[in-house]
Amino acid sequence: MELKRSTGSLTRLLVASAAVFGLLAGNATLAQAAEPADVHGPDPTEESITAPRGPFEVDEESVSRLSVSGFGGGTIYYPTDTTDGLFSAVSISPGFTGTQETMAWYGPRLASQGFVVFTIDTITTTDQPDSRARQLQASLDYLVNDSDVKDIIDPARLGVMGHSMGGGGSLKAALDNPALKAAIPLTPWHTTKDFSGVQTPTLIIGAQNDTVAPVSQHAKPFYESLPDDPGKAYLELAGASHLAPNTDNTTIAKFSIAWLKRFLDDDTRYDQFLCPPPENDDSISDYQSTCPY
């Protein structure tokens, strides 16, 4: 009987140990799943994130409007070194009367930091924000399903950006597609002011002297309407006009790269550039956020 009791105790001990091991293993699996799918590039610094080019060599491919449907074609910029795994992707819409050329500077600058970037043309230059939202989604669908670079893109990590009506379109795209991982509206314009249904981390960049889409009527109400979770930020460019996003801008680039890295790639190394809010930066007139993320 004593031997039987000892055997039973040993059995219970082994079962308990197995259960604990299984729990720990399960937790380890969950922890691994929470890690970024692919981390690209060396540890970032202020110098690396503000440099005109990042660590990746970039190539580009022109996409004719005749070869696509739902948007007006564009240019794909992409890293040529894929040894670190799949890349996140972002589509960028121009504003009212604008073409992809007005957003071309984002292509090589963002792609050199480890993203696939699609600067698109819209079907017509006068398309309204909701149409631009649909076109942004169509361009993302093209990227992951039909483009020549589809094999280097992680289809689960997609984002949108846009200027003016394209910025309003990026907000609407995020509202329509909760699966998007990041949105960056640039001096955005939209007649709708309530985007409380957006579930995508969103960085809104406004311009202090914008007379086309004044921040008090557009960028700020958009930001205030967004939910705090899963994260939002508002950056206002000091002394800048509505067209500030159309030319190479270090402040826009820095915060766009940090936002896309943080939320497209889930790369927490870039938290340092978003939280706490920047201080003593003459290029920024206002910054608000839901730090920490």
Q: Which residue among the candidates 170, 242, 265, 267 is catalytic per the annotation?
A: 242
**C-alpha distance across the termini of the chain, in Å:** 59
Give catalytic status of residue 218 as yes or no. no
Integer Cα distance of 223 and 152 in angstroms:
33
Helices in 180-249 by DSSP H: which ranges? 219-225
Q: Which residue among the candidates 93, 139, 147, 164 is catalytic per the annotation?
A: 164
SS3 of residue 121 by DSSP: coil
Give catalytic status of residue 210 as yes or no. yes
Q: How far is CA 15 from CA 1, 6, 18, 20, 27, in A?
A: 21, 14, 5, 9, 18
Q: Which residue among the candidates 121, 210, 265, 267 is catalytic per the annotation?
A: 210
DSSP H/E element including 13: helix 2-34
Helices first, then strands: H and E counts in the chain: 7, 9
Give catalytic status of residue 242 as yes or no. yes
SS3 of residue 118 by DSSP: strand
Integer Cα distance of 51 and 134 in angstroms:
33
Active site residues: 164, 210, 242
